[in-house]
Chain A
Amino acid sequence: MDTINDRLVIAGREFTSRLWVGTGKYKDFEETKKAIDASGAEVVTVAVRRVNITDRSKENLLDYLDPKKYIILPNTAGCYTVEDAVRYARLARAAGVSDLVKLEVLGDEKTLFPDTAGLIEAAKILIKEGFIVLPYTNDDPIVARKLVDIGCPAVMPLAAPIGSGLGIRNPYNLKIIMETVKVPIIVDAGVGTASDAALAMEYGADAVLMNTAIAGAQDPLAMAEAMKYAIWAGRLAYKAGRIPRKLYATASSPIEGML
């Protein structure tokens, strides 16, 4: 398969990489950049926070991640209300250069599961203001459909709780979401290792977004590279079409010609 031309398109924008990565939890910006380069990711998520005005010696993330080279996807991480999420999205747009936002409205601190009612409400407001809203949502096909109905050009269902590394907890729901909505599906959160990412792609996900699985690995650079191959392996396997599962054996060698 021509992997170069197998592009992901969201809201008319072309994305060269199907692995999207977060930029949190790294030791320093140097490691962040090295890991992102090893992963081959083009889309990188960032958070929006107050500038440290008392210690200006702190470096800026954008000194390391050139917005001309990477697609900077701001998130509304840490927002638990519609008002906060909308406020942060507007600030992200003002600080950056695009209308893209990864919208998170969280339900509680223990699970970090999305508050899907709040998510839909916030998405409606932002879409009306011209944002391209990529919503972090539950693995719920009905919510995914509603998000698409109100104008989200992609949906980002979780595989498992953020940072849990549990892998895909409900592959059947993910498959139903993929059948239900006709927009790209980006599996977001919960991936633990390369096989989780490959599985998500084999199921038919269009991309996978992860952070902790790479940043928290003992060797983040090696894991970033592993994820790059896993995403492509999964994508290729999905496009190739796997064999059906059967209970009994089927010989691969012919019987004919045997003594």
Chain B
Amino acid sequence: MTIQVNGESRGVGEGQTVAALLQELDIRADRVAVELNLEIVDRNDFDTRSLCDGDRVEILSFIGGGAE
């Protein structure tokens, strides 16, 4: 199935979890926020929340910034 991750199309296995996606992308789960179809996924649910075809996933973290 195909999902959107940070605006880019990506093929993933059927029923893949958020945690598995992060692992595949080599992203530490404890430092990111994950938004699935505009809804924030609680970090405690990363292991159980599975993705569906067409899902839009946003993965965000902190970067250097002051204002604007």
How far does the alpha carbon of A186 sit from the alpha carbon of B47 in the complex, in Å?
Answer: 40
Residue-wise, chain B 25-49 has the 8 Å CB interface mask toward A (1 for contact) of 1111001111100001111000000
**What is the chain A residue whose CB lies nearest that of B6?**
A50
CB of A206 closer than 8 Å to a CB of B: no
Residue from the list A25, A51, A56, A90 in contact with B32, Cβ < 8 A: A51
Chain B residues bordering chain A, tally (CB within 8 A): 28
How far does the alpha carbon of A70 sit from the alpha carbon of B15 in the complex, in Å?
Answer: 38
Residues of chain B contacted by A104 (CB below 8 angstroms)? 67-68
Residues of chain B contacted by A22 (CB below 8 angstroms)? 64-67
Q: When the two chains form their complex, are residues A91 and B33 in contact, meaning their CB atoms are under 8 A apart?
A: yes
Q: In whole Å, how far is A157's beta carbon from the nearest beta carbon of chain B?
A: 13
Residues of chain A contacted by B12 (CB below 8 angstroms)? none
Q: In whole Å, how far is B65's beta carbon from the nearest beta carbon of chain A?
A: 3
Q: When the two chains form their complex, are residues B5 and A95 in contact, meaning their CB atoms are under 8 A apart?
A: no
Interface band, chain A: 35 or more
Q: When the two chains form their complex, are residues B68 and A106 in contact, meaning their CB atoms are under 8 A apart?
A: yes
Knowing A53-B25, A104-B67, A162-B67, the reply to whether A94 touches B62 (Cβ < 8 A) is no
Residue from the list B8, B42, B63 in contact with A49, Cβ < 8 A: B63
Residues of chain A contacted by B31 (CB below 8 angstroms)? 60, 62, 95
CB of B55 closer than 8 Å to a CB of A: no
Knowing A50-B6, A56-B26, A56-B27, the reply to whether A24 touches B65 (Cβ < 8 A) is yes
Residues of chain A contacted by B67 (CB below 8 angstroms)? 22, 24, 45, 75, 77, 104, 112, 136, 162-163, 188-189, 211
A60-B61, A74-B62, A94-B34 provided; 9 other pairs, C-beta below 8 A? A25-B64, A25-B66, A50-B59, A56-B25, A56-B27, A91-B35, A94-B40, A112-B67, A163-B68
A-B contact pairs, 17 of them (CB 8 A): A22-B67, A26-B64, A47-B62, A47-B64, A48-B33, A48-B62, A49-B60, A51-B59, A60-B31, A74-B62, A91-B58, A92-B33, A94-B34, A94-B43, A95-B60, A211-B65, A211-B67
